Each structure stands twice: as structure tokens, then as C-alpha cells.
Amino acid sequence: MRPSAPGSALEFADLFGERACALEARAAPGTQAWRAPEEARLLFAALALEPAELAALEGAAPGALTPGPDPGWLVYSGPARALRALGGSHAGLSPLWAAWAAAARPRAEPRLMGIVNVTPDSFSDGGRHLAPEEAIAHGLKLIGEGADILDVGGESTRPGSEPVPTEIELERVLPVVRALAADGRALVSVDTRKAAVAEAALEAGATLVNDVSAGRDDERMLPLVAERGASIVLMHLCGTPRDMQERPHYTDVVREVAAHLRERAAAAWQAGIAPARIALDPGLGFGKRLEDNLALMRALPELRSLGLPLVLGASRKSFLGRLSGEERPEHRAHESSAAVALGAWLGADVQRVHDVGAARAALAVARGVSELAPDARSA
């Protein structure tokens, strides 16, 4: 995976450095930055600005600053060129321009990450592909349906799930990773929180680690990924899979998830992982209520301000069933296709799905009615 990311350490610092973390700048709610990139609408924490910087911003675009939704926050609604000029002349304001430039970057057709669960207890397909030969056959089927990436996991992270011993996880995933990587038609990811499993999977041919803990559960994970030159998906998870759905609560879910992802991206960068090898996942269904999942879906254009590819995993999730009334996860293909199309429209760069063929058809429809460019997909 080579995500669209800033090209220099300076630019990445503008998105994930201390000043960027303090400003928390992102496209204002409801903004589709890529549709009018010349007119910026940016929400940020005004208290992080020095008086001279605030005066410079007001002077460059008179009348462009209005109060934000909460005390201490401002919304900039004005020419993007003014932000760009200020970013060049005032180092403290460069994170504002970086956030808007990231939000306004052109969108490409999302890549599809097919799910290969080698587990007895995953929420939707647990036990169906537990034998290595069955999991390999399933992965090859997903490639035939159009999967760009295969995500192989040997530990369920459904709500209430218990950790799996490293030895068992290795027994489950390594034969599958090795065979699918040898096929060569799709990138192979390993879905794990354990550095030991990630290391063995990378040796077996995986090139991507999908870590729902974003490197927090195992302090060796980020240095390992950096050392191996691999890519990583960093996800927001409230709590652990065992307890994440026990009364989750947020004051502002979009702000809190964005801050978490920004902090974890900074940690990955500081560990030595190249920016072009980092992607972010808001963690739908992982310690989220229905309203939180919906808010994060709607906020994908805002989260693009983080400047790294967004991975969306809505497939067959329970919040879709709550909307449609379908209680059986395996029967939520229609709901999942709707989420794929909406995710494409709103700016997801990678979509993690069970039903690759249906998702590919949903993307074709989304492409037909949007500005998605199929020839702009990153390699």
C-alpha cells in the first residue's frame, strides 16, 4: 500500500506535530473540500493561536473568522490561497493550510480489502474458514471478485471476545498468509495486535499490518513495522474488544477519534514508519454507539484533514442491522453495499468488506454519480 501522504517530514510535522495536535484543525462539518478546494472551511482550536497569528489570519481574510460550535473554537470560511500564503509566512499557521490541503486532495476509487477470518468466533463468519485450505480458497475467491488487499486474521475482535494465545494465532494465520502472498495477485495484510504474529506474517509474505489497537497493545509493534519497511493501519478503539461495548461514551466523537488517530500517526512516524505507509481507521463498531458510528461516517470528509488514507470497516456491522432491522450479520449484504457506496462518496480510501463482489458493484455505481477517478487509484 502506498497511501497518499505528505511528501516531506516538514509537511508531516504540519499535520502531526505538537502545534498541529494543539490546533486540531479539520474541515468544518458538512464540508466536501474536494468539491470547492479554492474556498476553505476549516474548524480549529483558537486558543492554540498566538495573538499575532490570530491578527495575521484576520488581516489576510477579513470577515473569514466566525465562532465555532464550542467556546474557544473558530471557523475559517474564506479563500484557500490566504491560508496557503499564511502557512508560508507564519510557521505557526502552517498546520491550518496543511489540514485544508489534505482535506481537499482529489479522491480516488477506494481499494477493497477482503476479509479472511481464520477464527471460530468472528461475529459474522466465525468457523466458516477455520481450516487453512478453506481460508486459502476463500481468499482466492475474494481475489477473483476484485479484492486489492486480503486481511487475514486469527483472533476475533468482536465485542466480548477474549484474547487468543500467540501460538494459536500463528497456527491459524501463517499457512494462509504464505499461500495468498505466493499467489501474488493481491497485497496481504495480517490483522493482529501482537508484534510476534506480525513479524512472522511479514516473513511469510504479508506487507501490511492491520492493528486495531494502533500499536498500543504491544510496544514492539511500531518499531517492528518501521524496521521491516511494512505498512500499518492504525485504528481507533475505545477500551479492548472484551469490554469496548460496555457503555461507550463520547462528548464529541469526531473530535476525540480525530485526536486519537493524529496522536497514533505521530507515534508511528516517531517510531520510524514512513508517512506513505500509514493509514487510519476510525473504528466503526469498536466501542461506538449507533449515533457514534453514524457521526463518524458523516465526518469522513473532516477526517481526510488528517492527510492519511482512511480505512472504513462498516461491512455487516451491527449498527447497519439496527438501521435495517436485520439481526443476522451474514444477511447484511445489502446494508453493507449501501455503506460502501456512501463511504466512497464521503472519502474512504480503503474499504474492508466481506462481500467483495457486491462491494465492487457498489463502487461502480458510486463512481458513476461522483467525482471518483478510477485511474487515480494508488498502487
- Residues 264, 316, 332, 352: which is the catalytic one? 352
Distance CA(351)–CA(265), nearest Å, equals 19
Distance CA(356)–CA(98), nearest Å, equals 34
Cell numbers linked to 111: 481499494
- Residues 111, 158, 193, 317: which is the catalytic one? 317
Distance CA(55)–CA(61), nearest Å, equals 10
Please report, as a single letter, which amino acid is at residue 283.
G
Between the two ends of the chain, the Cα-to-Cα distance in Å is 6
Distance CA(304)–CA(357), nearest Å, equals 26
Judge whether 352 counts as a catalytic residue. yes
Known catalytic residues are 317, 352
